[in-house]
């Protein structure tokens, strides 16, 4: 008999009707150990991966934002000169900078700060004083920014040893890379969701096929399609939900176990989540349940529609 | 309640049944007989909406089968109890739960019907086996459990396909007695069987009409049985 599911039957297996629960009806689906474990495992594994894809996307998004915001507002002036002229040139450079439009603040780094910057590379025992290290001047722009070319010309005339680095050269590819990684992370999330839907559809199909006798018996004794479909859909939706909750818990535990980003890392950032971003993983189990609901309902609809 | 009018049914290969007209009246008792493969099971399936006639009309409780939705068919099955030869159950539920299954799927409160359920189980002689799982039952017990499941909704019609096919003579007599008793309670009964002994045994207890499927047609068998 090729009769389609009635609209009423479809309405009855809507998410709301499903949540009401019907412990009696649930028992008609045999507790099949294998597909149950498979669905649970698939949902848990996929959610575990999704937590990382999510963390990756959020972290790279944060990184891209950090780099483009913080670095864009600052640049560095490097003054290389013989040791006896460094102080005079620094003074001259600071004067130039103070009279430059678009520069909010300019500050020469102290010897300690410079040593701090070099420490990760040379170790703490470096006698900075004895080395011909150029003086660094940190420039913070105001909202409008300055004209880099004009500033370079002025500096060339007044402070011959100064080199202006506005960071743009290496900032842009980094920001672009971070944005690409974020896009890849989001694509991974979509793929993970799709794979989970596919796996749950396969599991639901195999469960429906394996329970052909159950379905035949239920039809024989007068069960409507909505009753049969609901029993299966509910089973799989709850399985996917609990599997995803398990995967999420494990994923979060793994994230918490990651080493925290070091303060010295500066503009680098850890893979972990920050602030309200911690909410996102908790969205995953309901999403997994919704994916499973849609996948199982489609499978049940297809199967029951073709059945006598 | 079940009206068949010039009905025909053909599989891909060819016509299995043709030109069949029958009107089942309330309270009647019919046997359906004929050689194996003549189409007895197909005929019964046409009577409970599991198959749609390829020609002619099948009207169940005033509704044309062709115009019924899947839900309508499901609802009709609550008024037609069916017993198959190889009766199938939900093997993970107990016998009592299987017998109560039609109540459950039609959304009735199984708890409220508990007393009826127990009486029915006792009537079928399954009280001792109520907690067993279906695979643990003997052939006769399965048939009785299937009969109990078929009648729990108090259907108006009971269709039984070779209900005594897998059981010994004594058990087939018990099953027949249960069906005759249901008929006395006003139910319409149709039993498909090729067991002429069963038909003879029934004739002394109930006024039964015997239909025979031969050469694709349904005929009223004479008094020769």
Tens of pLDDT, residues B97-145: 999 999 988 888 888 888 889 988 998 889 999 999 999 998 888 988 9
Contacts with A212 from chain B: Cβ below 8 Å = none
Shortest Cα distance, chain A CAs vs residue B204, angstroms: 32
pLDDT tens by residue, A10-47 = 555 555 555 555 666 778 888 777 777 888 898 999 99
In this prediction, residue A2 carries a pLDDT of 42
For residue B59, what pLDDT band results from cuts at 50, 70 and 90?
A: very high
Q: Residue A267 in contact with residue A66, Cβ under 8 Å? A: yes
Contacts with B149 from chain A: Cβ below 8 Å = 221
Shortest Cα distance, chain A CAs vs residue B36, angstroms: 23
pLDDT tens by residue, B159-201 = 999 888 878 888 888 889 888 988 999 999 999 998 888 898 8
Q: HSE (CB half, 13 Å, CA atoms) of A307?
A: 27
Shortest Cα distance, chain B CAs vs residue A40, angstroms: 21
Is residue A1 predicted with pLDDT exceeding 50? no
Expressed in percent and rounded to 5, the helix, strand and coil fractions of chain B are 35, 25, 40
Mean pLDDT of A155-168: 82
Cα dihedral B147/B152/B153/B154 (nearest 10): 80
**Environment class of B71 (CB within 10 Å of its CB; exposed 0-12, middle 13-18, buried 19+):** middle
Contacts with B84 from chain A: Cβ below 8 Å = 220
Give the separation between CA B20 and CA A35, rounded to whole angstroms: 46
**Long-range CB contacts (within 8 A, 24+) of A119-124:** A120/A264
Strand partners, A108: A137
Sign of torsion over alpha carbons A268, A274, A279, A285: positive
8 Å CB contact of A304 and B78: no
Cα dihedral B170/B175/B176/B179 (nearest 10): 170
Q: Residue A229 in contact with residue A297, Cβ under 8 Å? A: yes
Give the separation between CA A222 and CA B111, rounded to whole angstroms: 19
**Measured between CB atoms, does B36 come within 8 Å of chain A?**
no
Q: Which residue has the tokens 């701090």?
A: A116
Q: Residue B22 in contact with residue B59, Cβ under 8 Å? A: no
Sign of torsion over alpha carbons A244, A245, A247, A252: positive
Give the separation between CA A291 and CA A8, rounded to whole angstroms: 22
pLDDT tens by residue, A34-88 = 777 888 898 999 999 999 888 888 888 887 777 777 666 778 888 888 878 888 8
Chain-centre distance for alpha carbon A302: 35
* Closest residue in chain A to residue B73, using alpha carbons only: A222
Q: Residue A26 in contact with residue A234, Cβ under 8 Å? A: yes
Kindly state the tokens that stand for B214: 């031969």
pLDDT tens by residue, A224-282 = 888 888 888 888 898 899 999 999 999 999 888 877 655 444 445 566 777 788 888 89
Give ipTM to 2 decimals. Answer: 0.85
Low-confidence winner among A154-158, A207-211, A270-274, B163-167 (lowest mean pLDDT): A270-274
CATH top-level class of B2-89+155-220: alpha beta
- Strand intervals (E) in chain B: 2-10, 15-24, 29-33, 55-60, 63-64, 80-83, 157-161, 188-192, 209-214, 217-220
Phi and psi torsions of A79, nearest 5°: -115, 110
Phi and psi torsions of A30, nearest 5°: -65, 145
For residue B47, what pLDDT band results from cuts at 50, 70 and 90?
A: very high
Shortest Cα distance, chain B CAs vs residue A300, angstroms: 14
8 Å CB contact of A220 and B97: no
Kindly state the tokens that stand for A90: 């620094």
Domain A73-166 sits in CATH at 3.30.70.100
Contacts with B73 from chain A: Cβ below 8 Å = 1, 3
8 Å CB contact of A28 and B110: no
**Measured between CB atoms, does B59 come within 8 Å of chain A?**
no
Contacts with B93 from chain A: Cβ below 8 Å = 27-28
Give the separation between CA A41 and CA A272, rounded to whole angstroms: 24
8 Å CB contact of A223 and B73: no
* A99 Rama class: left (phi>0) / alpha (psi -120 to 50) / beta: alpha
8 Å CB contact of A225 and B90: no
CATH 3.30.70.100 intervals, chain A:
73-166
pLDDT tens by residue, B72-106 = 988 898 899 999 888 889 999 999 999 999 998 88
**Which residue numbers of A have CB closer than 8 Å to B's CBs?**
1, 3-6, 8-9, 24-25, 27-28, 30-31, 213-214, 216-227, 304, 308
Number of separate helices (H) and strands (E) present in chain A? 11, 4
| Contacting B residues, span 97-156, partner chain A, CB-CB under 8 Å | 97, 101-102, 104-107, 110, 149, 153
């Amino acid at each position: 008999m090729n009769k389609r599911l009635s609209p009423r039957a479809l309405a009855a297996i809507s998410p709301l009707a499903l949540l009401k629960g019907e412990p009696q009806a649930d028992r008609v689906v045999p507790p099949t150990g294998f597909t149950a474990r498979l669905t649970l495992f698939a949902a848990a594994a996929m959610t575990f991966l999704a937590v990382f894809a999510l963390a990756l996307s959020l972290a790279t998004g944060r990184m891209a934002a950090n780099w483009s915001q913080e670095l864009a507002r600052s640049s560095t002036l490097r003054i290389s000169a013989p040791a006896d002229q460094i102080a005079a040139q620094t003074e001259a450079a600071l004067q130039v900078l103070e009279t430059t439009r678009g520069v909010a603040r300019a500050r020469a780094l102290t010897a300690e700060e410079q040593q701090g910057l070099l420490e990760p590379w040379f170790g703490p025992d470096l006698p900075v004083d004895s080395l011909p290290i150029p003086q660094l001047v940190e420039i913070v722009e105001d909202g409008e920014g300055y004209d880099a070319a004009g500033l370079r010309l002025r500096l060339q005339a007044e402070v011959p040893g100064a080199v202006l680095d506005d960071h743009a050269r290496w900032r842009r590819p980094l920001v672009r890379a971070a944005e690409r990684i974020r896009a890849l992370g989001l694509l991974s999330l979509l793929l993970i969701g799709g794979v989970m839907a596919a796996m749950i559809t396969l599991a639901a199909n195999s469960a429906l096929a394996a329970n052909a006798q159950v379905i035949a018996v239920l039809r024989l004794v007068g069960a409507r399609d909505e009753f049969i479909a609901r029993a299966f859909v509910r089973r799989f939706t709850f399985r996917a939900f609990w599997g995803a909750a398990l995967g999420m818990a494990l994923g979060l535990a793994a994230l918490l176990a990651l080493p925290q980003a070091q303060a010295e890392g500066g503009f680098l950032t850890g893979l972990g989540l920050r602030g309200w971003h911690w909410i996102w993983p908790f969205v995953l189990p309901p999403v997994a349940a919704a994916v499973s609901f849609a996948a199982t309902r489609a499978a049940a609809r297809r199967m029951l529609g073709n059945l006598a | 309640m079940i009206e068949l009018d010039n009905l025909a049914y053909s599989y891909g290969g060819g016509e299995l049944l043709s030109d069949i007209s029958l009107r089942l009246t309330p309270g009647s008792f019919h046997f359906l007989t004929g050689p194996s493969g003549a189409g007895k099971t197909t005929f019964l399936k046409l009577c409970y909406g599991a198959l749609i006639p390829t020609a002619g009309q099948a009207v169940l409780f005033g509704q044309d089968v062709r115009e019924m939705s899947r839900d309508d068919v499901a609802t009709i099955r609550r008024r037609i109890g069916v017993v198959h030869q190889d009766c199938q159950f939900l093997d993970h539920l107990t016998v009592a739960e299987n017998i109560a299954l039609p109540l459950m799927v039609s959304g009735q409160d199984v708890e409220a019907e508990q007393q009826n359920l127990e009486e029915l189980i006792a009537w079928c002689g399954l009280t001792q086996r109520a907690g067993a799982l279906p695979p643990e039952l003997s052939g006769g017990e399965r048939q009785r459990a299937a009969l109990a499941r078929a009648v729990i909704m108090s259907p108006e019609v009971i269709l039984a396909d070779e209900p005594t096919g897998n059981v010994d003579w004594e058990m087939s007599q018990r099953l027949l007695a249960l069906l005759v008793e249901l008929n006395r309670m006003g139910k319409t009964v149709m039993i498909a069987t090729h067991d002429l002994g069963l038909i003879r045994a029934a004739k002394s207890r109930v006024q039964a009409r015997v239909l025979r499927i031969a050469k694709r047609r349904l005929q009223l068998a004479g008094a020769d049985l």
